[in-house]
Structure 1
Amino acid sequence: MRELAARIEARTPPERDRALDALRALAIAGVVAGHWLVTALVTDSGAVRVTSPLTFMPQLAPASWLLQTLALFFLVGGAVATRSHLRARAEGLSYGRWLAARTARLARPVAAVAAVWAVAAIAMLAGGAGTQTVRALVKLVWSPMWFLLVLVALSAATPLVARLHPGWPLAVVVCADLMRFCGGPQAGWVNVAAGWLVPYCLGAAWARGGLRGRASGWALLLGGAAAAAALVTWGGYPAAMVGVPGAPLSNLDPPSLAAVAWGLAQSGAALLLAGPLRRLLRRPAAWAAVALVNLSALTIFLWHQSAMIAVTAIGLLGGGRLPGLHTVPDGPGWVAARAAWLPVFAAALVACCAAFGARQRGRPGTKPTAGHG
Structure 2
Amino acid sequence: MTIAPERPSGTTPQPRAGGAAASGPNGAVLAGRDVTARVRSGRDASVDAVRAVLLVAVVALHAMMVGVSVGAGGPVLQNALEHQAWFAPVSWIVQVMPLFFVIGGFASITQWRGLRARGVSPASYVRGRIDRLVRPALALVAVVGAVLLGLAMVGMPAELVATAGFRIGQPLWFLGVYILCSALVPLMVAAHERARVAAPGLLLAAVVAVDVARMSSGVEAIGFLNLLFVWLLVQQFGFWLADGLVDTLAPRAKAGVIVAAITALLALTAGPYPADMFVNLNPPTVCLVLLGAAQLMVFSLLRGRISVLAERERVRRAIDGLGKRGMTVYIWHMPVLIALAAALLIVNAATGIALPEPLSAEWWSSRAMWLLLVGVAVAPAVSLFARFERGRRSGSAALPTSRSVALDALLGAGGVAVVLIAGFGPLPATAALTMLGIALLGSGRIGAALRAGWAARPTTTSSTRMTQARPAGDARALADS
TM-score bucket (shorter structure): 0.7 to 0.9
Worse-matched range after superposition: 169-178 or 293-302: 169-178
Q: Which residue of 1 aligns with 2:151?
A: 124
- Paired with 1:124 and 1:289, the residues of 2 have a C-alpha distance of 36
- Paired with 1:209 and 1:321, the residues of 2 have a C-alpha distance of 59
Give runs of aligned pairs for residues 355-370 of structure 1, distance below 5 A. 355-362=384-391
- Contact 1:48–1:132 (CA<8 Å) still a contact in 2? no
**CA displacement at 1:153 relative to structure 2:** 0.8
Which of 99, 102, 113 aligns to 1:86? It is: 113
- Paired with 1:141 and 1:195, the residues of 2 have a C-alpha distance of 24
- Paired with 2:239 and 2:328, the residues of 1 have a C-alpha distance of 25
**CA displacement at 1:297 relative to structure 2:** 0.9
- Contact 2:325–2:386 (CA<8 Å) still a contact in 1? yes
1:284 has 2:318 as partner: no
Give runs of aligned pairs for residues 90-105 of structure 1, distance below 5 A. 90-105=117-132
Please list every run of at least 4 consecutive aligned residues from structure 1 whose deviation after the TM superposition is greater than 4 angstroms.
Answer: 320-323
Cα 1:321–1:312, aligned 2, differ >3 Å: closer, same or farther?
Answer: farther
Q: Which residue of 1 aligns with 2:207?
A: 173
Q: Which residue of 1 aligns with 2:264?
A: 227
Q: Is there any run of 5+ residues in structure 1 with no aligned partner, and where?
A: 1-11, 243-249, 364-373
- Contact 1:41–1:49 (CA<8 Å) still a contact in 2? yes
Over residues 108-157 of structure 1, what are the superposed CA-to-partner deviations in whole Å (9 max), with x where a residue is unaligned?
21122112111211111111112211111111111211111111111111
- Paired with 1:15 and 1:38, the residues of 2 have a C-alpha distance of 37
- Contact 1:47–1:130 (CA<8 Å) still a contact in 2? no
Give runs of aligned pairs for residues 303-342 of structure 1, distance below 5 A. 303-318=332-347, 319=349, 327-342=356-371
1:237 has 2:276 as partner: no
- Paired with 1:321 and 1:73, the residues of 2 have a C-alpha distance of 42
Cα 1:257–1:43, aligned 2, differ >3 Å: closer, same or farther?
Answer: farther
- Contact 1:303–1:352 (CA<8 Å) still a contact in 2? yes
Which of 67, 77, 80 aligns to 1:52? It is: 80
Q: Which residue of 1 aligns with 2:241?
A: 206
**CA displacement at 1:293 relative to structure 2:** 1.4
1:151 has 2:178 as partner: yes
Aligned-partner SS, 1:133: helix
- Contact 1:39–1:51 (CA<8 Å) still a contact in 2? yes
Q: Which residue of 2 aligns with 1:368?
A: none
1:262 has 2:291 as partner: yes
1:299 has 2:328 as partner: yes
- Contact 2:214–2:223 (CA<8 Å) still a contact in 1? yes
Cα 1:66–1:336, aligned 2, differ >3 Å: closer, same or farther?
Answer: farther
- Paired with 1:47 and 1:332, the residues of 2 have a C-alpha distance of 20
Aligned-partner SS, 1:92: coil
- Contact 1:64–1:240 (CA<8 Å) still a contact in 2? yes
Q: Which residue of 2 aligns with 1:3?
A: none
Cα 1:315–1:100, aligned 2, differ >3 Å: closer, same or farther?
Answer: same
Q: CA RMSD in A?
A: 2.3
Q: Is there any run of 5+ residues in structure 2 with no aligned partner, and where?
A: 1-38, 393-481
Q: Which residue of 2 aligns with 1:245?
A: none
Over the matched positions of the two proteins, sequence identity in percent amounts to 30
- Paired with 1:344 and 1:100, the residues of 2 have a C-alpha distance of 38
Cα 1:184–1:140, aligned 2, differ >3 Å: closer, same or farther?
Answer: closer
Aligned-partner SS, 2:100: helix
- Contact 1:30–1:68 (CA<8 Å) still a contact in 2? no
Q: Which residue of 2 aligns with 1:8?
A: none
Aligned-partner SS, 2:246: coil
- Paired with 1:66 and 1:115, the residues of 2 have a C-alpha distance of 35
TM-score normalized by the length of structure 2:
0.66
- Contact 1:220–1:267 (CA<8 Å) still a contact in 2? no
- Contact 1:30–1:66 (CA<8 Å) still a contact in 2? no
- Contact 2:41–2:114 (CA<8 Å) still a contact in 1? no
- Paired with 1:306 and 1:253, the residues of 2 have a C-alpha distance of 21
- Contact 2:136–2:389 (CA<8 Å) still a contact in 1? yes
